[in-house]
Amino acid sequence: MKRTQKTSSRSADDATEKGRPQMADLARLAGVSVATVSRALNGSALISKDTRERIEELARSLNYSINIGAKNLRLKQNRTIAVVIPYDRVSRQHISDPFFLAMVGSLADAITERGFDMLLSRVDAESLDSAADLYNSGKAIGIILIGQWRHHDQLNQMAAKRMPIVVWGTQIPQQLYCTVGGDNMAGGAMATRHLLERGYRRIVFIGDPQLAEVTYRHQGYVEALAAYGLQPDPQLLVCVPFDANEARAGINRLCEQGVSFDAVFACSDVMASAASQVLHLHGRTVPDAVGVVGYDDIEWASHCNPPLTTVRQPIGAAGAELVDALLCVIDGVVVVPRVLPVELVVRSSTRPDPG
């Protein structure tokens, strides 16, 4: 059967032809077998130094690089990690939030550093199965999912099918998958406590407590208030997804309704910054009339005007942690969810310590 005309017609000078050279070419040119070439290129001890060097030299001169696909197939291995960013149709959360983008950057670094390739894909969160496909089809050996949103159950199902998956998010009781995330409760508490310490009392909370991570931030908020003998006022809850416009609208509504407040704690810097802007338009100065605290500490938080007091999430470390966790999961090691420390960064969107 000679369907393989192309191959069978490969002549001696073939390597210089259009197609990239392959082992067979090197073998022919070096006058050895393909096996020898394979071994030489893989640094097998079986090959004489002489032969190896000759082959290596040849490979270099032909600009040969091994066909990873074939190698992977043969070895049933794979060095690709899929990073998935679900976008939520409902909340219309898009990939554009700088926090997520920064996370992608951090992951790119961490994955590259460990000698893996990173496959980035966006998937409709309503059909996370298509993320599963990345694994099932052998495109990747594991999946890192950024944000757990409302998809706890789907994630549990995937994990139940022994899919190697790690999620940036928060630990939820009875979860089967591994999460890595910031300490949301502590973050919510330290932001709120800071505002209280600076003399603010009526603190607006911006965020959707239905989202797992926000749940805990809100809990921290409530606890910090309680420590000051305060009750959370439902009027002060602006329940919106991570979105600048929604946050803007929310604060705007509050102002127009004449709800009294003297501080804002937003669950992302993007929303905090948006809030800050709206307040400005209403003639309420930050930090004097209203104190503002954000979340994430994305780069621009320090470039804002005024620079944002915020809860820093360790984005740089997060990438590394996620990848390490995933590699453990792949190795079958049980990994307990990891909670990364967060840190309050005090800038100028809250007024100086009165004490």
Which residues of the chain form contacts with DNA (CB under 7 A)?
1-4, 7, 19, 22-24, 31-36, 38-39, 41-42, 45-48, 50-51, 66-67, 70-71, 73-76
24 binds, among a second copy, DNA, none (CB under 5 to 8 A by kind): DNA
Supply 277's token pair. 């802007």
Binding mask 56-85 for a second copy (x = CB under 8 A): -------x-xxxxxx-xx----x-x--x-x
Nearer to DNA by Cβ, of 3 and 355: the residue is 3
Distance, in Å, from the CA atom of 170 to the CA atom of 182, rounded to the nearest integer, reads 7
Distance, in Å, from the CA atom of 150 to the CA atom of 130, rounded to the nearest integer, reads 17
Place of tokens 């393989």: 4
Could you tell me if 166 and 143 are in contact, meaning their C-beta atoms sit under 8 angstroms apart? yes
Strands 117-124, 80-87: pairing kind:
parallel
60 binds, among a second copy, DNA, none (CB under 5 to 8 A by kind): none
Distance, in Å, from the CA atom of 240 to the CA atom of 237, rounded to the nearest integer, reads 9
Could you tell me if 144 and 80 are in contact, meaning their C-beta atoms sit under 8 angstroms apart? no
Least separation in angstroms between residue 129's CB and DNA is: 18
Question: Does residue 126 touch a second copy according to CB under 8 A?
Answer: no
114 binds, among DNA, a second copy, none (CB under 5 to 8 A by kind): none
176 binds, among DNA, a second copy, none (CB under 5 to 8 A by kind): none
Least separation in angstroms between residue 7's CB and DNA is: 4
- Coil vs helix vs strand at 247: helix
Name residues whose C-beta falls within 8 Å of residue 66's C-beta, 6 or more positions apart in sequence.
23, 41
Least separation in angstroms between residue 68's CB and a second copy is: 5
Question: Does residue 105 touch a second copy according to CB under 8 A?
Answer: yes
Distance, in Å, from the CA atom of 88 to the CA atom of 123, rounded to the nearest integer, reads 9
Distance, in Å, from the CA atom of 51 to the CA atom of 64, rounded to the nearest integer, reads 17
Question: Does residue 326 touch a second copy according to CB under 8 A?
Answer: no
Distance, in Å, from the CA atom of 354 to the CA atom of 291, rounded to the nearest integer, reads 13
Nearer to a second copy by Cβ, of 245 and 260: the residue is 245
347 binds, among a second copy, DNA, none (CB under 5 to 8 A by kind): none
Least separation in angstroms between residue 172's CB and a second copy is: 25
Nearer to DNA by Cβ, of 78 and 309: the residue is 78
2 binds, among a second copy, DNA, none (CB under 5 to 8 A by kind): DNA
First to last CA, the chain: 89
Could you tell me if 204 and 225 are in contact, meaning their C-beta atoms sit under 8 angstroms apart? no
34 binds, among DNA, a second copy, none (CB under 5 to 8 A by kind): DNA
Residue 221's φ and ψ, nearest 5 degrees, are -60, -45
CA dihedral 97, 234, 191, 84 (to 10 degrees): -30
Among 148, 170, 276, 309, binds a second copy (CB under 8 A): 276
112 binds, among DNA, a second copy, none (CB under 5 to 8 A by kind): a second copy
Nearer to DNA by Cβ, of 22 and 192: the residue is 22
156 binds, among DNA, a second copy, none (CB under 5 to 8 A by kind): none
| Cβ burial 241-258 (10 Å sphere, 16+ → b, else e) | bbbbebbbebbbebbeee
Nearer to DNA by Cβ, of 16 and 48: the residue is 48
Number of Cβ within a 10 Å radius of residue 194: 21
Supply 303's token pair. 């470039």
Contacts of a second copy in 289-318 (CB under 8 A): 299-300, 303-307
339: alpha, beta or left? (left if phi > 0; alpha if psi -120 to 50)? beta
Question: Does residue 199 touch a second copy according to CB under 8 A?
Answer: no
Residues that bind a second copy (CB under 8 A): 18, 20, 63, 65-70, 72-73, 78, 80, 83, 85, 94-96, 98, 101-102, 104-105, 108-109, 112, 117-122, 133, 136-139, 161-162, 244, 270, 273-274, 276-277, 280, 299-300, 303-307
